[in-house]
Every structure is written in structure tokens, then in C-alpha cells.
Amino acid sequence: VMKKLGEARDEAGRIAGKHLGLNNSAVQMAKSGARGSMLNLSQMAGCIGQQAVRGERLSRGYWNRTLPHFQKGDLGAQAKGFVKNSYKSGLTPTEFFFHSMGGREGLVDTAVRTSRSGYMQRRLINALEDLKLKQDGTVRNTADSIIQFKYGEDGIDPTRSVQGDAIDVDDVLRDVLGEHYADLLARAEERKISAYATVEKDLMEAAMEEEEESEEIEYEGGGEE
């Protein structure tokens, strides 16, 4: 049920986005990544969608129904927290109440996650504040005791790695350039080979000139004698 109601919200958002067009300021802001997303735009112009608490449709409230405005045993979309209106058109009183239930869960989760992650970061900083990476690649504390023989057990900087492996420039170029990468790589190899050939040719010519000059000097010296 949640999946189907989510698809209904997404379809309403697609219809609204089609009429807004790419020249709309809000669409440009969402597409560029400056702020917001197309989901926010679909909720503003199309449909807010199903409200959820603990990943499920709203069920808690009165006996066998969420609000006294609905019949007992009603399992319809609106009776279980689906908001068909958008922020632009405005919410009905029941939709506003359901929306506040879903929003309250988000606020509580945000507050709890912030406190937990902050305390965990504080403990990690206190535990690792005296560790330092030395020039020999080992990790040591202030007493110069070795904590790790190699940083991270593999010597790879996490900020410069992909899935635990050091970044491969060829893989990055292949992902960015796609099919043209092989052609560009072949051209680069040809240029490299031609450059090596040119250097070797220049060295051989210089060596031959030196030999000729040395022979001329020897010949001139023999003539004077």
C-alpha cells in the first residue's frame, strides 16, 4: 500500500514538474543542487503524499480508526494518513493533523541522532587525540609506542580512496570519458612512442656528430706531426 501511494505522489510530482518547465526558478535551484529537490517541488505543486510513523501508515488514535472524522474500520487512503493536497492548494484539518504526526517523528529522530552522533564523535576524539602518523608509515602515540605498523593496516588514505582501494586514474578517466577513453589512450601512447623515437634520433645524431668531430681533430693532429 505504501509503495502504491508513493507512486501516486511521484506521478503527481511528474505532472507538476512537466508544467513548471526548466525555466522555473525553483526547478533550476533543485536541478543544480543548490537547495531542495524535485520531491519538495512535487509536494508544493502536486501532492504531499502518504504520512508515515515508524515506516507504516498511521494507525494509532481512536478505537479502530485514526480520527473521529472517519468510520470505524476504514482502511482508505485518506483515513490512514494520505494527504492528496499540496502546500499551494492547502491542507484540510485532518490532513494537517496527519502531516503534523509525520513531521513530529522526523523532529524527534533528528534530535536523537544529533545527540548520539555528537557524543560518539567526542569519545572518538578523546581516544585518538594523541595518535600521530610518523614518516616511517607507523602510527604512534605521545610515548612513541607503535599503535599500528601501517596507517589503517593498509596505508591508504580514506579521503583519497574508493571502496577501500587507492584511486586509479585510469578508472576515473574511463568513467568520465566512456568509449572515447580507449582512443585517447591509444593516441597518447602513439605520441609517447613518437616522442621517445624523436629523442633517440636526436641522441644518435648528436653522438655521430661528436664522433665526426673527434675524428677530424685526430686527423688534423696527425697532419701537423
77 and 155 both lie in a single domain:
no
Number of domains into which the chain is organized: 3
20 and 91 both lie in a single domain:
yes
* Rounded Cα gap, residues 95 and 11, in angstroms: 20
* pLDDT number for residue 130: 92
Q: Looking at the domain assignment, is residue 117 inside a domain?
A: no
- Within 8 A by CB and 6+ apart from 137, the residues are 149, 150, 151, 155
38 and 92 both lie in a single domain:
yes
- pLDDT per residue as tens digits for the range 173-191: 777 777 676 677 777 777 7
* Rounded Cα gap, residues 77 and 86, in angstroms: 16
14 and 99 both lie in a single domain:
yes
* Rounded Cα gap, residues 148 and 140, in angstroms: 7
Percent above pLDDT 90 for the chain: 13
Q: What is the CATH number of the domain that holds 94?
A: 1.10.132.30
Mean pLDDT confidence for 6-25: 81
Query: Does pTM top 0.85 for this prediction?
Result: no
Can you give the residue range of the structural domain that contains 143? 130-166
70 and 142 both lie in a single domain:
no
99 and 26 both lie in a single domain:
yes
Do 118 and 124 contact (CB within 8 A), yes or no?
no
- pLDDT per residue as tens digits for the range 28-81: 888 888 988 888 888 888 888 888 888 888 887 788 888 888 888 888 888 888
25 and 85 both lie in a single domain:
yes
Q: Looking at the domain assignment, is residue 172 inside a domain?
A: no
Which letter does DSSP use for residue 82 in this model? Answer: E
95 and 151 both lie in a single domain:
no
Q: Looking at the domain assignment, is residue 214 inside a domain?
A: yes
